[in-house]
């Protein structure tokens, strides 16, 4: 019965997010379009999960102990309120749009000869996630950092039924007994541990395996959301599912689901959806997209410390989308300012977000080449990225593609700077941080590859018109 309570508790959080988004979005602009239901379903999980952690923080501030009632009852009430608001605002319009959308086949625009491939990819994903669920539910907390830096907080907060502070070694030694706690990373944010606390609260006990169910749910919801965003970016059903499959079949991403406990899967998925919802807002100018983007961006800040920098990385690409006439110049200026600022910081020798900056260029080329092109963590992702870039180089800065190109370029620059000018270079050679940090950007690289290939293929199939004896596209 305890595991049923675990599922109900997290599905309730998911339902809250879906209800909130249904209240937020107009059916005619989202649900009626291909992929709209997938966006609502997928992003609903991320909104709901984030709200649970925010509510738990408020309970701790108010000195209300964590419990299934103190956490779960507001979820039920808010889900009902959000559903009522959604119905009051556009209930009948939703039925007009949702009914046909649910009855329509999701692969209706796939040619008959390709429909087998569409179902094969869907079956592959279903089988893969079935196996991953077995891993998550049966494997105790395993990764090193998971039980030295993240779940330490979750275990203490669950036992005490509230959030208590963690501090550095010297502060812990000087503090009265029981007033301060210590682990290997006391300054890490509490969002990810709070998800484990809610899992343990639902179970009524601490279970090293079952507390990690949210990692599996995050990956499943990300698949829905990514498919929906690709569909609404005018991708066909087969191309959208192929892109979703490419992202979800990355070995390192699957490892972060099966070996749950790190914050990098959440960082990667929230960051990707923040970027896609922000670019979607620029395209639609729908305030609901803006609200979703802001909520997801706020989550990025409190999931992992580098989330603050990752949000800065998104800004040049969003500016390019928002100001297509001057955006590339502004983005170039941003790159220049960031480069100068980074060099100044390295000259000072500042320690930022736990990384010590130093003006001593020493790129760990061997470790990077092994991580990206030799070992099996990424399949052929980076070979494919290079091939697509060479294939579609003429279109990389086109109006449609430039925002994503700038975001991916800025993200790559951020990673390479960290590997070359901070103590993170040590963790490149031992194949640890290099893969976790790259995971944050990897799904966006997949989306960029798909969009680039689409632009190239559209250019190849553009109709040829004869004008004055000359051929022009």
- What would the pLDDT profile of 65-86 be if each residue is shown by its tens digit? 999 999 999 999 999 999 999 8
Q: b/e for 416-439, b at 16 or more Cβ within 10 A?
A: ebbbbbbebbebbeeebbbbbbbb
- Show the CA angle centred on residue 280, arms to residues 278 and 282, nearest 5°: 75
Virtual torsion, Cα 335, 339, 344, 349, nearest 10 deg: 120
Q: What is the distance between the alpha carbons of residues 324 and 471, in angstroms, rounded to a whole number?
A: 29
- What would the pLDDT profile of 275-330 be if each residue is shown by its tens digit? 999 999 999 888 999 999 999 999 999 999 999 999 999 999 999 999 988 888 88
- What would the pLDDT profile of 116-169 be if each residue is shown by its tens digit? 898 999 999 999 999 999 999 999 998 888 988 899 999 999 999 999 999 888
> Please, are residues 44 and 21 in contact by the beta-carbon 8 Å criterion?
yes
Q: pLDDT > 90: what percent of the chain?
A: 59
Cα atoms in the 13 Å half-sphere on the side-chain side of 226: 29
Alpha carbon of residue 446 to chain centroid: 13
The pLDDT-based confidence of 170 (bands split at 50, 70, 90) is confident
> Please, are residues 46 and 225 in contact by the beta-carbon 8 Å criterion?
yes
How much is the pLDDT for 362? 72
How much is the pLDDT for 464? 41
The pLDDT-based confidence of 352 (bands split at 50, 70, 90) is low
- Show the CA angle centred on residue 233, arms to residues 230 and 234, nearest 5°: 100
Q: Is the pTM of this model over 0.85?
A: yes
Backbone dihedral angles phi then psi of residue 400, each to the nearest 5 degrees: -75, -35
CA distances from 104 to 34, 101, 107, 109 (A): 10, 5, 9, 10
- What would the pLDDT profile of 10-24 be if each residue is shown by its tens digit? 999 999 999 999 999
How much is the pLDDT for 418? 82
The pLDDT-based confidence of 29 (bands split at 50, 70, 90) is low
Q: What is the distance between the alpha carbons of residues 162 and 10, in angstroms, rounded to a whole number?
A: 19
Query: For residues 29 and 263, which has the higher predicted lDDT (pLDDT)?
Result: 263
pLDDT at residue 249 tops 90:
yes
Q: What is the distance between the alpha carbons of residues 51 and 299, in angstroms, rounded to a whole number?
A: 9
Two structure tokens written together for 8: 């109900």
Mean pLDDT across the stretch 215-224?
A: 97
Q: Which of 19-28, 44-53, 83-92, 304-313 has the lowest mean pLDDT?
A: 83-92
Question: Assign residue 244 a region: left if phi > 0, alpha if psi is -120 to 50, beta otherwise?
Answer: alpha
User: Which residues are 351's β-sheet partners?
Assistant: 356
> Please, are residues 382 and 372 in contact by the beta-carbon 8 Å criterion?
yes
The per-residue pLDDT of the chain, averaged, comes to 87
> Please, are residues 256 and 439 in contact by the beta-carbon 8 Å criterion?
yes
How much is the pLDDT for 105? 57
Q: Which DSSP category does 472 fall into?
A: E
Alpha carbon of residue 192 to chain centroid: 13
pLDDT at residue 64 tops 90:
yes
pLDDT at residue 33 tops 70:
yes
Q: pLDDT > 70: what percent of the chain?
A: 87
CA distances from 133 to 75, 137, 181, 219, 264 (A): 25, 6, 33, 11, 18
How much is the pLDDT for 458? 85
Helices within 285-353 (DSSP H only): 287-303, 307-322, 327-348
Query: For residues 465 and 148, which has the higher predicted lDDT (pLDDT)?
Result: 148
Q: Which DSSP category does 28 fall into?
A: T
> Please, are residues 222 and 193 in contact by the beta-carbon 8 Å criterion?
no
- In terms of Cα–Cα distance, which of 171, 12, 4 is closest to 82? 12
The pLDDT-based confidence of 466 (bands split at 50, 70, 90) is very low
Q: How many CB atoms lie within 10 A of CB 236?
A: 18
Alpha carbon of residue 339 to chain centroid: 26
CA distances from 448 to 225, 313, 316, 443 (A): 16, 15, 15, 9
How much is the pLDDT for 77? 96
Cα atoms in the 13 Å half-sphere on the side-chain side of 310: 29
Mean pLDDT across the stretch 217-231?
A: 96
How much is the pLDDT for 177? 78
- In terms of Cα–Cα distance, which of 298, 312, 305, 251 is closest to 270? 298
- What would the pLDDT profile of 423-449 be if each residue is shown by its tens digit? 676 777 777 788 999 999 999 999 999
How much is the pLDDT for 470? 38
Tracing tokens 């320690």 back to the chain, one arrives at 351
Backbone dihedral angles phi then psi of residue 467, each to the nearest 5 degrees: -125, 115
Q: What is the distance between the alpha carbons of residues 296 and 289, in angstroms, rounded to a whole number?
A: 11
How much is the pLDDT for 185? 87
């Amino acid at each position: 019965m305890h595991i049923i309570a675990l599922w109900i508790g997290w599905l309730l959080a998911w339902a809250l997010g879906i209800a909130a988004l249904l209240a937020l979005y107009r059916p005619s602009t989202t649900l009626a379009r291909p992929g709209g239901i997938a966006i609502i379903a997928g992003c609903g999980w991320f909104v709901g999960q984030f709200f649970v952690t925010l509510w738990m923080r408020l309970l701790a501030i108010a000195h209300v102990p964590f419990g299934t009632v103190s956490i779960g009852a507001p979820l039920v009430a808010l889900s009902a309120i959000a559903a009522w608001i959604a119905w009051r605002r556009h209930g009948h319009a939703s039925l007009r749009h949702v009914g046909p959308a649910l009855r329509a086949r999701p692969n209706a625009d796939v040619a008959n000869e390709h429909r087998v491939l569409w179902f094969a990819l869907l079956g592959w994903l279903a089988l893969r996630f079935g196996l991953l669920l077995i891993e998550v539910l049966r494997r105790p907390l395993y990764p090193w950092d998971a039980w030295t830096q993240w779940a330490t907080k979750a275990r203490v907060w669950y036992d005490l039924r509230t959030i208590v502070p963690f501090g550095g070694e010297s502060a812990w030694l000087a503090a009265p007994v029981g007033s301060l706690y210590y682990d290997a990373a006391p300054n890490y944010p509490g969002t990810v541990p709070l998800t484990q606390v809610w899992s343990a609260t639902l179970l009524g006990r601490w279970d090293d395996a079952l507390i990690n169910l949210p990692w599996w749910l995050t990956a499943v919801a990300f698949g829905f959301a990514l498919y929906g965003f690709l569909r609404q970016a005018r991708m066909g059903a087969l191309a959208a599912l192929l892109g979703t499959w490419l992202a979800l079949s990355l070995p390192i991403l699957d490892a972060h689901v099966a070996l749950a406990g790190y914050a990098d899967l959440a960082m990667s998925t929230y960051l990707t959806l923040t970027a896609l919802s922000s670019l979607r807002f620029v395209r639609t100018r729908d305030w609901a997209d803006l609200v979703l983007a802001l909520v997801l961006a706020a989550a990025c800040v409190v999931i992992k410390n580098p989330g603050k920098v990752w949000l800065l990385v998104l800004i040049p690409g969003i500016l390019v989308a928002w100001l297509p006439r001057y955006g590339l110049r502004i983005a170039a200026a941003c790159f220049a300012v960031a480069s100068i600022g980074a060099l100044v910081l390295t000259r000072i020798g500042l320690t930022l977000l736990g990384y010590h900056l130093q003006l001593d260029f020493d790129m760990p080329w061997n470790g990077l080449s092994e991580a990206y092109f030799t070992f099996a963590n990424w399949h052929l992702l980076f070979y494919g990225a290079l091939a697509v870039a060479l294939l579609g180089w003429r279109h990389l800065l086109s109006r449609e593609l430039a925002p994503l190109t700038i975001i991916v370029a800025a993200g790559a620059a951020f990673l390479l700077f960290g590997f070359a000018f901070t103590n993170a270079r040590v963790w490149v050679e031992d194949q640890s941080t290099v893969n976790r940090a790259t995971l944050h950007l990897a799904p966006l690289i997949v989306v960029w590859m798909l969009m680039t290939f689409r632009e190239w293929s559209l250019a190849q199939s553009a109709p040829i018109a004869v004008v004055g004896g000359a051929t022009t596209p």
